[in-house]
Structure 1
Amino acid sequence: MGFSKNPVGNQQECLNIEGPIIVGAGPSGLAVSACLKENGVPSLILERSNCLASLWQQRSYNRLKLHLPKQFCELPLFGFPENYPKYPSKHQFISYLESYAKHFNIEPLFNQVVEKAEYDHSVGIWRVRTQDCEYISRWLIVATGENAEPFTPEIAGIERFNGPVVHTSVYKSGSEFGKQRVLVVGCGNSGMEVSLDLCRYNASPHLVVRNTVHVLPREMFGCSTFAIAMTLLKWLPLRSVDKLLLLAANFTLGNTDRLGLRRPKTGPIELKNATGKTPVLDVGAVSQITSGKIKVMGGVREITRNGAKFIDGQEKEFDSIILATGYKSNVPCWLKGSDFFTEEGLPRTPFPNSWKGEKGLYTVGFTRRGLLGAASDSLKIARDIADQWKKIKGSKIIWNSHIALQI
């Protein structure tokens, strides 16, 4: 990375960054940094935690595996080791990310919490302030992603509950809940997998399914469901592919409506593209629901001291509550003066053009298309900035000196 110091009296130290500032050292931040480096552009990653990919290292459960085959989860320019299984484990994926950073000599600055980032129109730069320093650059890349902070919905009476209430961001293993009656709120991939994990420790999970949900088998006829869908989309209209997927899912899993898992009227891929809602890829939870080991419940009306009341009139006692309610973006908390993001912290511009804003602002990892989308964004961003970089270098503009005179 290239930077120079500009002490300003007793004010916070200021560093001029030669290339882009990247906020976030998760897979998206690493990918765009590597792509920039491949194009001859240095960058600086600011990371609030003390490690790479903190969501994976610090906020994920032990049995987590990639939901998609590894070829759809590779970062640009550096693949998974050949001996990795089709669906790498959490620990294998973390090891891959660490090898990726080492391969490209990416060294983020850790424990740098971005308090504010704002474009300075008077000078034409981005000012990014952490607790330690102010960093300035022509370019700012937001790589904090859609899952920066745990999302906890308001649930009536939850403060009255006598037992533990934990979010899946701190859940590690069902061993902590052995033989307990556990209410799992949320029926996405995390809720389903946590419920399955609880079964393995003789707990009794009750899964709250408030809305409709698409559940597809992770594999159909020995092939990845996602891979089948991607192949079919090359030849058939999206809605035709959705119909075929649902026919195959009903053949493999049966009619999930009878289990309390009502399907949306919109097909799984169409719904994903329109709303970002990912279908659940089943790895065994449906069979446990069928056997009665996982009990499906309707929406919660309120939490009581010892359990919950449900909208269908049932009332049950529980020992613990696990909130599998997902995550949210934290961009609105620190990015100021830009209307590129919505109040929910997602780009207003839809995919595939959500990667680029104005005045040197870029985003990676906000496509709602997982690691594949982040890889695609990273390549686009690197090419775009590299073109600007070459023009700047070609015209021999000594930008750092220019900025230093105006700070």
Structure 2
Amino acid sequence: MKPTVVVIGAGSAGLAAAAALLERGVRSVVLEQGDRVATSWRQRHEDLRLNTIRWLSGLPGLAIPRHAGRWVSRDDYIAYLERYALEQALDIRFGVRAQRLNPNARGWQVDTDSGVYEAAHVVVATGNDRVAWQPDLPGLAAFGRPVMHVAQLRRAADLAGKRVLLIGAGNSAVEIAGHLVDHAVAELWMSVRRPPNILPRQLWGIPLHPATVALRYLPEGLRDRLAQAISRHVFGDLSRYGLPTATDGPFRRMRTSGVTAAIDQGFVDHLAAGRLRIVADVDHLTADEAVLRDGTRVEPDVIVTATGYRSGLTDLLGPLDVLDQHQRPRTGKGREALPGLWLTGFWPAIEGNLRQHGREAGRIADGITTSRCRSAGPPSRPTSLRRQSPTPDSQHQPLRSSL
């Protein structure tokens, strides 16, 4: 039997989609280019923790265990996704890299480095942060010291004792800056082109994540004003430390640019204490210096760029014309981009990306189920999501669990 659905990507969005389909009796196969689930999470630095609260970050059918704490670590979240894939008995083919999607008479053809898959529906869940984006710095070829994207940094402690120039001021930059100071870099300059919106993770010990979820239906302008008021109350005016105030609010910036707010995990305290210094945007590099727009010169031992990511969807989707100029899907969350083509996990949100994956998965599964009902009558429905077994013809490798 050919699967009804091919899901591309075994991260949180792809696993949620496959589980939602299985709950509705729809057979799918998940293609994952890595050798285990959660490939992108494994590539992040070891100090990473979720900025969203544990009980609002899980997937449908299985909660993140309480022992993971309020703010779940990278390793605990990877272990959770491994357990999720095992308990939902998902058919995952590891080491299979999807290369191109093409429509055909039966639905869709997925060309991979391990052969061709055909299905009536394809769900693309490869992640919004799949490809690290490195700026083209003038003079980079002549610069004689290491330059790395933050995605390549496995441990902040590896840069202890170094003079670091950090380029960027988004959430990744604010987060890693705090970790670099914690791990005793010799000096840290933070090159800022566009000032970030910085929000506290909690207020008076109460997490703010549930509040952002509860207030998501308010007008954008009102949410921005509330967020800016909270930021001023907690942090005061950060321009006295050299960090200008953002001219637009976090929700407007998210909508217009896809850039999320920066969540403070100690960064502001380090900034106020003078443990890091805000500097101007980089103009160009020399053999051993970075020359800034204001003429200042700094001499770092290493440059770390925290300049964001791209979806990398252009190669996969080719000429299908379903992406905008920023490589983001034109369709809404969990909606068909083309008949039988669905995308999930590509819409970051201040109220939490992970929480959305389950909601998008349910919407996609309902849409595919409705499509099957129109063409073949009602599908059979398993009595229990967790007791559903993999199909007999499944040839996927066994999942490895760290639990």
Provide TM-score, normalisation by structure 1.
Answer: 0.88
Q: What residue in structure 1 maps to residue 73 of structure 2?
A: 89
1:72 to 44, 48, 56: 56
Taking a change above 3 Å as real, the CA distance of residues 214 and 143 of structure 1, as seen in their structure-2 partners, is same
- Write the letter of the residue equivalent to 1:98: E
Alignment of 1:281-360 (within 5 A): 281-349=263-331, 351-352=332-333, 355-360=335-340
Residue 29 of structure 1 corresponds to 14
Aligned to 1:206, the other structure's residue is in SS state: strand
Q: 1:1-400, aligned counterparts within 5 Å? A: 3=1, 17-57=2-42, 59-120=43-104, 123-203=105-185, 204-233=187-216, 236-349=218-331, 351-352=332-333, 355-369=335-349, 370-394=353-377
Runs of 4+ in 1 over 4 A off after TM superposition: none
Per the alignment, residue 398 of structure 2 pairs with none
| Alpha-carbon shift at residue 274 of structure 1 (Å) | 3.1
- Unaligned runs of 5+ residues in structure 2 are 380-403
Q: What are the superposed Cα offsets for residues 47-99 of structure 1, whole Å, 9 maximum, x if unpaired? A: 11111111101x20011000111122111222111332111100110011011
Equivalent-residue separation in structure 1 for 2:239 and 2:4 (angstroms)? 53
Hey, what's the Cα distance between the residues in 2 that align with 1:394 and 1:228?
42
**Cα distance between partner residues in 1 of 2:38 and 2:205:** 31
| Cα distance between partner residues in 2 of 1:39 and 1:377 | 15
C-alpha offsets along residues 11-42 of structure 1, whole Å, 9 cap, x if unaligned? xxxxxx32111111111100100000011111
| Cα distance in structure 2, aligned partners of 1:37 and 1:319 | 51
SS of match in other structure, 1:281: strand
Confirm or deny: 8 A CA contact 1:67 1:281 kept in the other structure.
yes
For 1:187 and 1:181, the matched residues in 2 are separated by 18
Q: Is the 8 A contact 2:58 2:355 kept in 1?
A: yes
Distance in 2 of aligned mates of 1:96 and 1:271: 31
SS of equivalent to 1:100: helix
Aligned to 1:400: none
Residues 307, 319 of structure 1: 8 Å contact kept: no
**Counterpart Cα distance in 2 of 1:344 and 1:295:** 31
Structure 1: tracts of 5 or more residues without a match: 4-16, 397-407
Residue by residue over 1:86-121, the C-alpha shift from the partner in whole angstroms, topping out at 9 and shown as x without a partner, is 11100110011011101101131111111211112x
- Alignment partners' CA distance in 2, 1:170 and 1:24: 21
- Give how far 1:344 is off: 3.2
2:183 and 2:276 map into 1 onto residues whose CA distance is 12
Kept in 1, the 8 Å contact 2:169–2:195? The answer is no
Residue type at the aligned position of 2:139: G
Query: Aligned partners of 2:196, 2:157: CA distance in 1, in Å?
Result: 28
Q: Determine if contact 1:41/1:389 at 8 Å carries over to the other structure.
A: no
Aligned-residue Cα RMSD (Å) equals 1.8
Return the letter of the residue paired with 1:105.
A
Residues 394 and 230 of structure 1: CA distance in aligned 2, closer, same or farther (over 3 Å): closer
How many angstroms does 1:314 deviate by? Answer: 0.3
Structure 2 length normalisation: TM-score? 0.89
Take 2:176 and 2:249, find their aligned partners in 1: how far apart are those partners?
25
1:403 aligned residue: none
**What is the CA–CA distance in structure 2 between the aligned matches of 1:342 and 1:238, rounded to whole Å?**
22
Instruction: Decide which moves more: 365-374 or 387-396.
Output: 387-396
Deviation string for 1:199-234 (max 9, x for gaps)? 123212211111121011111122222322333445
Shift of 1:271: 2.3
Identity %: 27
| Shift, 1:395, TM fit | 8.7
Which structure's relative contact order is higher, taking Cα pairs within 8 Å and 6+ residues apart? 2
Distance 1:395 1:257 in 2: 61
Q: Summarize deviations over 1:120-178 as a string: whole Å, max 9, x none.
A: 2xx24211111221111111111112111111111111222211111111201222212
SS of 1:305's equivalent in the other structure is coil
